[in-house]
Structure 1
Amino acid sequence: MTTLRLRPEDPADTGAIRRVLAAAFARPDVAVPPEVRLVDELRGSDAWLPELAMVAEYGGEIVGCALLTRVLVNSGAASMPALAMGPVAVAPHRQRIGLGTSVVQAALEAATELGERLVVVLGDPAYYRRFGFSRADQLGLTSPWSGLGEPWQALILPPATSGEPSPPRGEVIFPPPWSKV
């Protein structure tokens, strides 16, 4: 029986994660997909949160990843921390068996356990809706991708305590590596 293990990545996983991203986002017109470069650059930035870089290990092989990195929501008077999801990838030979769903759920659960309140994503609404994401503009969030409508999404995570303030509203500020995607 093949075992699925979901866990934060460790430094030894970098090469395997690059291979998963390169295979999942392969295009004939580019040697290295932008998603690979994005993750490489995020790893070297202040936005990198190693405890929220989750991998799916299936049968001892890294076959999927879901990354959450730090963004800020500028609400005018203050900036509040939030998270951006992406990229999410599964090796092509292991797609369509639920590994993507599992690694995304693991990342969101880890974020909730750490007391995070808000996750944004740019992605397929039909896919991310299953996790509770909805249109970010309807939650008062803007970004460079706001004009795309439904793919610009957000998820409010459950608070650790009932007295926590509501999640921030405003402009989501992404770290510089995101501007190259």
Structure 2
Amino acid sequence: MEIKLRQESENDYESVFQLIEKAFEKEEYSDHKEQFLVERLRKSDAFIPELSIVAEVDNKIVGHILLTKLEIKNESKSFESLALAPVSVLPEFQRKGIGSKLIVHAHKVAKELGYKSVVVLGHQDYYPKFGYELTNKYAIEMPFDVPAENCMLIALTENGLSGVSGKVIYPSAFFE
């Protein structure tokens, strides 16, 4: 199975909407509205077109990942970072490495664009294999009440999290 990764285009929006809907349909820890979050984020200042990436198999979109801007802020400083939300793969293509390829590729593109870190609220058994660590290791707190083991981040560059601490500030599109 050949997996092709590329930047999402406006022509992909409807396919990606349906893909995200199907990907999260049976997820227990989901509000089943991730597809609407992606639509809102595309229209926000947090959107970075190069970091909205699709995976294709035989010219069919089977996966999508989105990284958007966020801030980590403390009393004296603000640090630019990225939010990984969501990564989606059609159910019949899950467990075939597509999500992993999307994450690794998105990290590479983000690093090339000059970003130093990515924050994720995700499964504690999945994201550490990509190098994600708990946010509380860095005195970084999430803006909502969720289990600490699900709050993670990764440095994309050496020392990418050096001196970074504070509260994660998600774009308002996450809360609309």
User: What's the TM-score, normalizing by structure 2?
Assistant: 0.91
Does 2:173 align with 1:174? Answer: no
Q: What is the distance in 2 between the residues matched to 1:45 and 1:27?
A: 28
The percentage of aligned residue pairs carrying the same residue is: 34
Q: What is the distance in 2 between the residues matched to 1:35 and 1:165?
A: 28
Does 2:116 align with 1:108? Answer: no
**What secondary structure is seen at the aligned counterpart in 1 of 2:126?**
helix
**What secondary structure is seen at the aligned counterpart in 2 of 1:150?**
helix
1:142-153 equivalence runs, <5 A: 142-145=141-144, 147-153=146-152
Q: Summarize the Cα distance change of 1:42–1:174 in structure 2 as closer, same or farther, 3 Å threshold.
A: same
Shift of 1:178: 1.3
Residue ranges of structure 1 left out of the alignment (5+ in a row):
none
User: What's the TM-score, normalizing by structure 1?
Assistant: 0.88
Shift of 1:3: 2.3
Residue ranges of structure 2 left out of the alignment (5+ in a row):
none
- Count of matched residue pairs: 173
Q: What is the distance in 2 between the residues matched to 1:53 and 1:168?
A: 25
How large is the RMSD of aligned CA atoms in angstroms? 2.0
Asked if 2 retains the 8 angstrom alpha-carbon contact of 1:137 and 1:146, the reply is no
Which string of whole-angstrom CA distances, capped at 9 and with x for unpartnered residues, describes residues 111-160 of structure 1? 1111211110000011101110010111121112464111000101114x
Structure 2 counterpart of 1:104, one-letter code:
I
Structure 1 counterpart of 2:168, one-letter code:
V
Q: Summarize the Cα distance change of 1:120–1:167 in structure 2 as closer, same or farther, 3 Å threshold.
A: farther
Q: What is the distance in 2 between the residues matched to 1:119 and 1:14?
A: 24
